[in-house]
């Protein structure tokens, strides 16, 4: 289903940020992808389901997909500021925000740093502390090589930006960001006033206990645990399958939460 209404690049804090607009609706829903990803790899299945009920704006962050890089390391704080600048560029005063994995952590930072822009947030497999990741995660990041990057992510990048050096640069910056990941303190998470839905898979990279802790810290926080592994419940890196209704169920749950 082709829901694309518009696409373009916006000048954002020294980079050219790619974005797409899908569907229609009064209050935009912003989608923030995971690390190493494009719009398609994170949201190829979920986006058209959400665009049935929302004006969806999907974007690609620094060094990812069709967005250019800057001569600075990646950070979740910078990503949040970039998303905020994109909203300002698009004359959006307030929006719902949905982020997956690294995009979930960016969503947290957006709600902390730019609360005036945020209506509700959906954080899917996001993290705020190092101990929230599965055992061995940071050891793996220390030893990860470009060869270990999932091939579908490599293929997706090259498909939209045929530049192997850019792909390697994205991998190296993503890896270093996770190696250097520092905790967000509890007080900052507790400062989030926006209603927040935390979603996590039963066998995720982020633990259920960690996700529950975040949901408890946010006054208007809620938690949903769904079957599968990292990103599986909404069809990350997957082809739409009419026999698999889990992404449709996830979209229904998200829509119910976002109702005014």
pLDDT tens figures, 174-233: 999 999 999 999 999 999 999 999 999 999 999 999 999 999 999 999 999 999 999 999
Average pLDDT over the chain reads: 96
Q: By percentage, how much of the chain surpasses pLDDT 70?
A: 97
CA dihedral 160, 89, 43, 203 (to 10 degrees): 120
pLDDT tens figures, 148-177: 999 999 999 999 999 999 999 999 999 999
Kindly list the distances between the CA atom of residue 242 and the CA atoms of 45, 49, 116, 120, 184, in Å, as whole numbers in the listed order. Answer: 11, 12, 39, 29, 39
Q: Does residue 237 have a pLDDT over 90?
A: no
Residue 240: what pLDDT? 57
Residue 92 structural domain: 4-258
Residue 244: what pLDDT? 80
Average pLDDT of span 226-250: 86
Average pLDDT of span 83-111: 98
In total, how many domains does the chain have? Answer: 1
Average pLDDT of span 27-31: 98
**CATH code at position 198:** 3.40.50.1820
pLDDT tens figures, 43-77: 999 999 999 999 999 999 999 999 999 999 999 99
Instruction: List the strands of the sheet with 15-22, edge to edge.
Output: 4-12, 15-22, 56-59, 29-32, 95-100, 118-124, 196-203, 221-229
Q: Does residue 243 have a pLDDT over 80?
A: no
- The pLDDT confidence band at residue 1, using thresholds 50, 70 and 90, is low
């Amino acid at each position: 289903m082709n829901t694309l209404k518009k696409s373009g690049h916006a000048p954002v804090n020294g980079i050219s940020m790619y974005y797409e607009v899908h569907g229609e609706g009064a209050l935009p829903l912003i989608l923030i992808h995971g690390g190493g990803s494009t719009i398609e790899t994170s949201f190829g299945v979920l986006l058209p389901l959400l665009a049935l009920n929302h004006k969806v704006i999907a974007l690609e962050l620094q060094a990812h997909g069709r967005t250019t890089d800057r001569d600075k390391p990646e950070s979740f704080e910078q990503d949040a500021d970039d998303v905020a600048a994109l909203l300002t560029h698009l004359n959006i005063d307030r929006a719902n925000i949905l982020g997956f994995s690294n995009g979930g952590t960016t969503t947290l930072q957006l709600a902390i740093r730019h609360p005036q822009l945020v209506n509700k947030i959906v954080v899917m497999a996001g993290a705020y502390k190092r101990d929230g990741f599965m055992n061995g995660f940071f050891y793996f990041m220390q030893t990860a090589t470009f060869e270990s990057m999932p091939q579908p992510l490599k293929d997706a990048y090259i498909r939209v930006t045929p530049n192997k050096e850019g792909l390697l640069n994205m991998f190296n910056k993503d890896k270093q960001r996770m190696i250097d990941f520092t905790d967000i303190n509890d007080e900052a998470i507790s400062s989030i006033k926006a209603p927040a839905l935390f979603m996590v898979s039963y066998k995720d990279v982020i633990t259920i206990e960690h996700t529950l802790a975040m949901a408890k810290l946010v006054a208007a926080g809620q938690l949903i645990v769904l079957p599968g592994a990292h990103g599986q419940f909404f069809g990350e890196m997957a082809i739409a399958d009419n026999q698999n209704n889990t992404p449709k169920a996830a979209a229904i749950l998200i829509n119910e939460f976002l109702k005014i």
